[in-house]
Amino acid sequence: MRTGIFLNYAGGFLEAVDEVVELEKVGVDIALVAEAYSFDAISQLGFLAAKTSRIELGTGVVPIYVRTPSLLAMTAAGLDYVSDGRFRLGIGTSGPQVIEGFHGVPFDAPLGRTREVVAICRQVWRRENVKLDGKHYQIPLPPDRGTGLGKPLHLINHPVRERIPITIAALGPKNVELTAEIAEGWQPVFFYPEKADEAWGDALRAGLAKRDPQLGPLDVMVSATLAIGDDVEDRLAWAKPQLALYIGGMGARGKNFYHNLATRYGFGDVANHIQDLYLSGRKAEAIDAVPDELVRHVSLIGPRGFVKERLAAYAEAGVTTLLVHPLTTDRRESVRFVEQLHELLP
């Protein structure tokens, strides 16, 4: 099982980069930068590429709606170049809250757009003339929609690799099925190992049945908050604000993918309560309403023996890359948590 680190997109980036440099030395395999309504991920990854030499770098994730597919491909090729072939493109749909509320772009056809984005990116990296007569993207534009002067073009530069790995963040069954079919990696959120097959198993198997063998095995990249020790019980509370934000506030009622996931995990009543509190502005109460049981099962917080058991559960559920977020404000403790994690990996 590989290990990775998530950088906090909300602030403290320079300090986080120093931490990544240290974590690279202790053997962490990949560092991801997320993008929400924050600083963009791309400029930060360019900075990281200049500060590191071995660790794989990736977006974790960038929304497909806010950049054209060709720009996504150009950006990935550029980051792969400046990192000497260490980049992985992580994409996702995000949700209506961010796409419509921050970017002002319609959140529509996530499945169809994702498939077409991936196809265009791979054309660009192979330096083919980009052509797609898709439902959502037409390249070049037909005369009845453009000037009629657009002709197919290919990327001027020669990419380091003609196939940059693509990871898709997906939660819904149809999105997960598509990911298993077309992507090198899958990045779910709030992964509950014992309930993963119930939530996603059928979708994964359906997608894998249609998968091109040349893609290789699906890299299951799972995120988890991390704190190891006999005195870290208080860190459970540290993990609750993010769960409350996503379950309660990332979308309106009936349009919140994270709420739906918590419901599939068997926490439907709790998820409804958290959402009611969050959407009514009672955020502190929403955070307090997140049950310890849920936190324990989607994170790695506790004594060494407990964390070792949880790692075995992740491995049994098919996890191949574990992306951790150490729950600490002390860089030395963060590195120590990761070193202890490496000692416990199956």
Quick one: pLDDT at residue 14? 84
Q: Give the percent of the chain with pLDDT over 70.
A: 99
* β-bridge mates for residue 325, sequence order: 225
Candidates 113, 123, 33, 111; CA nearest to 65 is 113
Domain count, the chain: 2
**Are 242 and 100 in the same domain?**
no
**Are 85 and 156 in the same domain?**
yes
CA distances from 77 to 2, 42, 109, 294 (A): 24, 12, 26, 39
CA distances from 262 to 24, 237, 270 (A): 33, 18, 8
**Are 166 and 191 in the same domain?**
yes
Contact 258, 247 (CB under 8 A): yes
Q: Comparing 89-93, 208-212, 327-331, which segment has the lowest mean pLDDT?
A: 327-331
CA distance 161 to 167: 16
**Are 267 and 309 in the same domain?**
no
Question: What's the sign of the alpha-carbon dihedral 136, 142, 146, 152?
Answer: positive
* β-bridge mates for residue 33, sequence order: 7, 59
**Does residue 10 have a pLDDT over 90?**
no
Quick one: pLDDT at residue 11? 67
CA distance 145 to 17: 45
Tens digits of residue pLDDT in 322-346: 999 999 999 899 999 999 999 999 8
Contact 288, 309 (CB under 8 A): no
Tens digits of residue pLDDT in 104-161: 999 999 999 999 999 999 999 999 999 999 999 999 999 989 998 999 999 999 999 9
Reduced to 3 states, what is the DSSP secondary structure of residue 62?
Answer: strand
**Are 137 and 57 in the same domain?**
yes
Measured in Å, how far apart are the chain's first and last C-alpha atoms? 8
**Are 155 and 176 in the same domain?**
yes
Structure tokens belonging to residue 218: 């699906």
**Are 243 and 166 in the same domain?**
no
Q: Residue 123: give its domain's CATH number.
A: 3.20.20.30
Quick one: pLDDT at residue 9? 67
Tens digits of residue pLDDT in 246-300: 999 987 888 888 999 999 999 999 999 999 999 999 999 999 999 999 999 999 9
Q: Pinpoint the alpha helices (H) of the chain.
A: 13-25, 41-51, 69-82, 96-99, 110-125, 173-182, 193-196, 202-209, 235-244, 257-264, 268-279, 283-288, 292-297, 304-316, 331-344
**Are 178 and 53 in the same domain?**
yes
CA distance 311 to 290: 23
**Does residue 97 have a pLDDT over 90?**
no
**Are 214 and 242 in the same domain?**
no
Region 235-249: mean pLDDT is 95
Question: Domain range for residue 256?
Answer: 231-302
Quick one: pLDDT at residue 244? 97
Reduced to 3 states, what is the DSSP secondary structure of residue 147?
Answer: coil
**Are 169 and 274 in the same domain?**
no
Region 26-32: mean pLDDT is 97
**Are 88 and 206 in the same domain?**
yes
Reduced to 3 states, what is the DSSP secondary structure of residue 5?
Answer: strand
Confidence of residue 100 (pLDDT cuts 50, 70, 90): very high
Region 189-195: mean pLDDT is 96
CA distance 282 to 259: 17
**Does residue 203 have a pLDDT over 90?**
yes
Tens digits of residue pLDDT in 55-71: 999 999 999 999 999 99
Q: Give the percent of the chain with pLDDT over 90.
A: 88
**Are 189 and 243 in the same domain?**
no
Residue appearing with tokens 């720009």: 71
